[in-house]
Amino acid sequence: MKKVKVIFAGVLFLFLSIGANSQTKTEVDYFLGKWNVLITGTPNGDARMVFILEKKDNTISGIVQDTTGVEISKITNTEVSENQVTVYFNTQGYDINLVMEKKDEDHIKGSLMGMFDATGNRVKENKK
């Protein structure tokens, strides 16, 4: 009877582990891809940036571009939590962070440095 309990506990633990692991991957995968982001209210006016996020070694990495496709910065660090990701990058000599929160399937909201509002939408690539 003791062996049955141990086996049952092992199977239960396995199912719980698989469920928790798949949920984490889903949240991370949501943010992968290309995002057009508008940051409003900065001292230099509204700013538009493109964030290209990809998954490498179970973390998110990527680059930041201007609207013409010129690279502004590489993403130096990311933090992922439930329904949001914080990306860190360097621009004009300043270390900057952008919090991106899931709004719906193709839109985000957030803030730059906790001071400026940000909104964004997923760029959908045309598949041929």
Residue 80 CB partners (closer than 8 Å, separation 6+): 27, 28, 31, 60
- pLDDT recorded at residue 21: 45
Q: What is the pLDDT of residues 14-46, one digit of tens each?
A: 555 554 444 444 567 899 999 999 999 999 899
User: Which of the listed ranges 4-8, 9-13, 79-83 does the model predict with the highest average pLDDT?
Assistant: 79-83
Tell which wins on pLDDT, 117 or 27: 117
Residue 6 has pLDDT above 90, yes or no: no
The confidence band for 50, taking pLDDT boundaries of 50, 70 and 90, is: very high
The burial of 67, by beta-carbon neighbours within 10 Å (0-12 exposed, 13-18 middle, 19 or more buried), is given as exposed
* Domains observed in the chain: 31-122 (2.40.128.120)
Distance from C-alpha of 34 to C-alpha of 105, rounded to nearest angstrom: 13
